[in-house]
A and B are shown apart, each in its own frame.
Chain A
Amino acid sequence: MPNYRFSVNGESRSVESRDPAQPLLYVLRNALGLTGAKFGCGEGQCGSCAVLLDGKVAYACLTPVSAVAGRTVTTIEGLGTALKPHPVQAAFIAEQAAQCGYCASGMVMKSVELLAANPKPTRDEVKAALAGHLCRCGTHERILRAVARAAGAAMPGGTGA
């Protein structure tokens, strides 16, 4: 069975996959036990499976495992933990930016990518960056506040109750 080696959250991992087209999402969630990236659509339309591939957001549901060989993957688990969250995660937690939370890891990953490239984004830039990420519960405004908080910006729109 073909074998693919790549870096996941700082560790070199090797996985077997019968099918080179198997999406990275299933490899992460099943073979590697990293369930932070979620299955939402399988079509790259909702953003809930987002991971960082060499520092850039990739939709794990569309990325074949064979295309990841030799590269560096960071999942939501690789950013931080509840006790030691990544600054973006800390901002999301502070803003309680989740209802059901199914979209949250994708939102965080995209925000991390955005802030790495643009540490002080405008509100419109944040919205544009997150446009490919859907939330069905209505957490959008909290997410925008969380990204603003992570960027050290003033909190537009108050404290949220």
Chain B
Amino acid sequence: MSMHISRRNLLKAGGALVVSFAVPLPAFSQGANTFSGKTVDTGEVDGFFAVNQDGSVTLFCGKVDLGTGLRIAVPQMAAEELGIDVKRITLVEGDTDLTPDQGPTAGSSGVMRGGVQIRQAAATGPGVQPPCGSGLHARSPAELIAAEGEVRPRSGGAGITFGALLGNRHFGLKLDPKAKLKDSASYTVVGQSLPRPDVPGKITGRHLFMHDFKLPGMLHGRAIRPSSVGAKLIAVDESSIKEIPGARVVRIGDFLGVLAEDEWDCICAARALKANWSDENSLVGHQAVRDWMLAGPFEAEQSLVKKGDARGVLAGATQRVSAFYYWPPQSHASMGPSCAVADIRPGKATIWTASQATHRYRHAFARILELPPAAVRLIYLDGSGCYGMNGHEDAAADAVLLSRAANRPVRVQWMRADELGWDPKGPPQLLSLEGSLAADGSIDAWRTEMWLPRATANLPNIALLSPEAAGIKQVPGISFGLITQNGDPSYAVPNVDVSVHWLKHAPLRPSNIRAPGKVANMFAVESFTDELAALAASDPFKFRLRGLSDARGIEVLKRTAALIGWQARSGRSTSAIGRGIAYCHYKHNENYVAMAMEVEVVRASGRIHVRRVACAHDCGLVTTRMRCARKSKAISCRPCRAPCSKKCISIVRASPVPPGVAIRYSPSPMCRRFASNSFSGRTCRHGAAEKPHRRRYPPRLPTRSTTPAAHACAPRRSPANACGRRWRRATRSRCGGRACFQQRENASNSSAGTGLPAR
């Protein structure tokens, strides 16, 4: 008998995730909660796998697919080790009752850590004790291998199918961190470009997104936020929504929400409800963040890298350059505003969420609800691309408070303004870089000084909006990932000094946003490397190559140069077409990526036209080639980071040579401007989370010289508030809150200030 329950129906039944199982394992209860009670221990093979009698496998993954293909990549890794067809694996992801806690899906760790852990569990699996009389009984695990759906002796001979081996019973094995993995040279599944299983549903409108999920008896809810951060709720006029049938107000302290049976009624009620809030003025304003960062208060000073005597060498240097880089707070600005459904009943909570960190927030919600963690279950459903911690968890908290108040399931869908105004933002970063050249033109000293908010040590999670408004105690603090990494160059420099001034606060509630901190740091470091190359009158590609000794780094740099057809130039160009190249060894211990770009400034309009982009990427073993290319693009094209119109450009070729993947982007006339998510680069009003602040500039700067220099990105115009000679707004998209600013001052000579890296 075969039982197939669709994901959608199963979820509607209020139970577990996908099940496609012939005979449920006896230890598990029947029906929708087929797997309830299973172990979620990361040290147990049973935490990750359940094998059905027909040999099909359910894989329980604590990491989730955020649209970059983990849903196929991790099953590929498991299928390879288990020796079964990847189509026979069903993935359950991010359900706190069913999946082991593998940490949040962040920092590109889904495959690298989550997948690797599951691979090891899969490699342990064939070590299960074969039944007596199977012919394998006397063999040790090391003598067995999984292939073609069965476990068989490595030396050859008859095997036994997984179904026969494990049907109706658990593995009962501790995950063996030393279980022998298959030789990657023998891989037949890993490395294939298999299509993502979720794409057909997404393209035909039938994929179940978080936003599409409903429960019987569910109410629609909206949280009402004040117009200023920190405002207190003074009064609510509940009669203002009395015309709307079924609409009711929920007030808990300063948390204000509305509920209605019908979503449109709920939206109407949220708009109509009259509430008086205190007028707070807690924000410094977009333009003043740099001043604010420089002014402190500072919590600590820290030296991150100290090698040689950078300060001493710089003080005596004759060939010296310095620059300032500022990275503003950024919204995740997801296409679909955050959404969640919560069903809070006495002693029990079930929360459907698109959170990247369901296991972490299980504990957070347990604290908020004063329930034991075991009574709280978070179930992951796909959201709109989030690029870090956006508003998913906050929307879930809204739903939790409203559901608890109503004693019914509640769905909360944030509106566009909620998402852009209230999602936690990427933290601002300010960097001052200083470098000098030796007589032979190599870099002999490098100094990076950072101004950054300081993450709170051991913070369990970022405090959520509605519990805070409701006066529910949460651990105070801020967190946003490791934002200091890659603040020093990957190139050989004998004297390096990297230090940080840790700020006590952040101007807006911060959270992790893609590759936390590293994008800004790499942007500064690589832009500054161009400054030094220009000072040395050296070709930027050769200048970088000269400083590299890591063979893998050299390889990606050379391949990138070859892909774009790099032609060495030194000195200043008068052409409106320029080229740049950049290199990154992520965290100095992960991926190697190099990227080159050819851009043109359209003189008439001042617009930047990206003509070509080339990228070579060595990320180690490639699980799914197509996924790798997609992920490279996703990372490099994170919204509104440094040169971000790469998102518009195609990948045309992947390197056939493992490991790694080389990608060339085609000549593309479509990238008319930076920082746009549209095909045309039309103005987008999204993102206007903050009003521009009209405070005067320049700020006080620990400055040296004042030659203004526009950056290559988009020297469109000087800012309206006359930043002075030192500061110049270099790049600003019209995407409001997603605008990029980048400033620098240049202490060498004006030849470096051409806008484009001098060639």
Contact = CB atoms under 8 A, between A and B. Distances in A.
Contact of A136 (B196, B334, B649): B334
Contact of B629 (A36, A75, A82, A161): A161
B678 A141 contact: no
B211 A99 contact: no
A145 B264 CA distance: 37
Interface string A140-153: 11101100000000
Interface centre among B66, B209, B335, B639 (most CB of A within 10 A): B335
Nearest to A109: B205
A120 B625 CA distance: 31
B633 interface: yes
Contact of B336 (A19, A29, A48, A160): A48
Interface residues of B, number: 71
B582 to A, nearest CB: 18
A145 B209 contact: no
B710 interface: no
Contact of A160 (B209, B264, B629): B629
B587 to A, nearest CB: 22
Contact of A158 (B203, B633, B666): B666
Contacts of B201: 82
Contacts of A96: 195-196, 199, 626, 630
A89 B204 contact: yes
Contact of B200 (A93, A156, A157): A93
B685 A45 contact: yes
B212 A35 contact: yes
Given A136-B384, A138-B634, A160-B629, A30 B336 contact: no
B221 to A, nearest CB: 14
A8 B265 CA distance: 23
Contacts of B262: 18, 30
Given A89-B203, A99-B68, A161-B629, A38 B209 contact: yes
A100 B650 contact: no
B264 A22 contact: yes
Contacts of B211: 35, 38-39
B426 to A, nearest CB: 14
Interface stretch (B282-290, B537-545, B651-659): B651-659
A26 B263 contact: yes
B400 interface: no
Nearest to A26: B264
Contacts of A55: none
Nearest to B632: A161
Contact of A145 (B415, B637, B650): B650
A36 B204 contact: yes
A37 B205 contact: yes
A131 B648 CA distance: 12
B307 interface: no
A97 B203 contact: yes
A3 interface: no
A142 B670 CA distance: 13
Contacts of A133: 678-679
Interface centre among A18, A34, A142, A161 (most CB of B within 10 A): A161
A113 interface: no
A134 B335 contact: yes
13 contacts: A30-B263, A85-B200, A89-B204, A93-B199, A96-B196, A100-B382, A101-B382, A102-B383, A130-B679, A133-B679, A136-B639, A161-B193, A161-B651
A137 B67 contact: yes
Contacts of B333: 136
A111 to B, nearest CB: 11
Given A40-B336, A104-B202, A140-B647, A98 B416 contact: no
Interface in B672-720: 677-680, 682, 684-686
B534 interface: no
Contacts of A100: 66-67, 335, 382-385
A144 B385 CA distance: 20
A23 B630 CA distance: 35
A16 to B, nearest CB: 10
A116 interface: no
Contacts of B686: 41, 45-46, 134
B415 A42 contact: yes
B416 to A, nearest CB: 5
Interface string A64-84: 000000000001110111100
B217 to A, nearest CB: 14
B341 to A, nearest CB: 13
A103 B212 contact: no
Report, nearest first, the 5 A-B pairs whose CB atoms are least far apart: A36-B205, A101-B202, A138-B647, A76-B205, A158-B652
Contacts of A38: 209, 211, 335-336, 384
B534 to A, nearest CB: 30
B626 A157 contact: no
Contacts of A158: 650-653, 666
Contacts of B629: 160-161
Nearest to A107: B203
A102 B209 contact: yes
B663 interface: yes
Interface centre among B67, B268, B682 (most CB of A within 10 A): B67
Given A101-B207, A156-B666, A45 B684 contact: yes
A127 B684 contact: no
B238 interface: no
Contacts of B268: 19
B337 interface: yes
B680 A138 contact: no
A42 B271 CA distance: 14
A39 B413 contact: yes
Given A39-B413, A48-B335, A96-B195, A101 B650 contact: no
Interface in B601-636: 625-626, 628-630, 633-634
Interface in A1-54: 17-19, 22-23, 26, 29-30, 34-43, 45-46, 48
B337 A39 contact: yes
A101 B460 CA distance: 31
Contacts of B680: 127-128, 131
Interface centre among B264, B382, B416, B648 (most CB of A within 10 A): B264
B661 interface: yes
Contact of B677 (A22, A26, A29, A134): A134
B494 interface: no
Interface in B321-362: 333-337
A161 B626 contact: yes
Nearest to B666: A157
A92 interface: yes
Given A45-B685, A89-B203, A157 B650 contact: yes
Contacts of A127: 670, 679-680
A119 interface: no
Given A161-B625, A161-B654, 14 more contacts: A18-B265, A23-B264, A35-B211, A35-B212, A40-B336, A40-B416, A41-B686, A77-B204, A81-B206, A85-B200, A92-B199, A96-B195, A99-B634, A141-B650
